[in-house]
Structure 1
Amino acid sequence: MRQPLSLQTPHLSDYPELAQVWEDSVRATHDFLPDAYVRLLREHVLYRYLDAVMLVCCKDRQRICGFAGVASSRVDMLFVAPAYRGQGVGRRLLRYAINELNAETLDVNEQNLQALGFYLHEGFEVVGRSPTDGLGQPYPLLHMRLRGTGQCSGD
């Protein structure tokens, strides 16, 4: 039987679990990233990125199923544990980010076709592209904006 899921603000003590959800999700969906880069990014997530965003997580009674992070009207993170993919967790987190945290834009790795399809289905459109990721590595990013909102500020 499926356990009820709740949205809540994670605590600092949840950060290791959030980083594990991040890593598990990335390993399931970002097969284009080398292992060493995933390990480096995990450290950035745990010690830099989580503190830089407004966080919301989706939990069942025992564990975190997924989380989103928003800063300056942009979804900077949205990751779902592999066991919970396809169960509405990502949609619920994204809707919260849009409706409660005023998110209108996001970036997605161009090679992550599943995430790109998800965001297109959820009402986002591609408005730009960068040839590198946020650390300057050759993993192109697509810049997306919620349809019907103003111009993307761009970085």
Structure 2
Amino acid sequence: MIRAYRATDIDRILEIWFAASLQAHHFIAPEFWQSQLENMRHLYLPAAETYLYEQDSEIVGFCSLYENNLAAIFVIPEKQGQGIGKQLLTHARSCRESLTLTVYQANEASYQFYLSQGFKVIGEQVDEHTGCPEYLMYG
């Protein structure tokens, strides 16, 4: 079930974001993700439109939209590969006419996921926070 985010969900969302970030972004030091927890809590999540995926009354994934940008889509690692990300992406697309997103070039699994969902690369850039190259995608 997908539902809107509530402020009481913040700790679970941060757990998912941190665990999935460590797994997907092995090329970035874990300390970076740790350093971003408070920004996620106080800046990024409050500014975004966020939806959660619940399975058996447990939050197992989420997506966040900021304007027409898919700012985040994360599924707890042990639940990945079960179609939850696709359902979250479908929901995000139902909220906007089109979406842009960025994905690290070294995050091959996520890059392939977005390609499989019809996104196209429209540019390349370097993430200002990590210095890692990323693709800008549209779909």
Task: Flag whether TM exceeds 0.5 (same fold).
Answer: yes
In 2, the alpha carbon distance for the partners of 1:52 and 1:36 equals 24
Q: Is the 8 A contact 1:70 1:103 kept in 2?
A: no
Aligned to 2:60: 65
Q: Is the 8 A contact 2:98 2:138 kept in 1?
A: no
Q: Structure 1 stretches of 5 or more lacking a match?
A: 1-5, 147-155
Which TM-score applies when normalising by structure 2?
0.94
In 1, the alpha carbon distance for the partners of 2:113 and 2:124 equals 18
Segments ≥4 residues shifted beyond 6 Å: none
Q: Which has the higher helix share?
A: 2
Q: Is the 8 A contact 1:57 1:66 kept in 2?
A: yes
Q: Which has the higher strand share?
A: 2
Q: Are 1:77 and 2:72 an aligned pair?
A: yes
Aligned to 1:91: 86
Which TM-score applies when normalising by structure 1?
0.85
Q: Are 1:29 and 2:24 an aligned pair?
A: yes
RMSD across aligned C-alpha pairs, in angstroms?
1.2
Q: Are 1:48 and 2:70 an aligned pair?
A: no
SS of match in other structure, 1:46: helix
| TM-fit CA distance, 1:17 | 0.5
Q: Structure 2 stretches of 5 or more lacking a match?
A: none
Equivalences for residues 107-146 of structure 1 within 5 A: 107-131=102-126, 133-135=127-129, 137-146=130-139
Could you list the per-position Cα deviations for residues 66-114 of structure 1 after superposition, in whole angstroms to 9, with x for gaps in the alignment? 0000111110000010111000000000011011244411111111100
Pick aligned residue for 1:9 from 4, 8, 18: 4
Q: For this pair of structures, how many residues does the alignment match?
A: 139
Bigger radius of gyration:
1
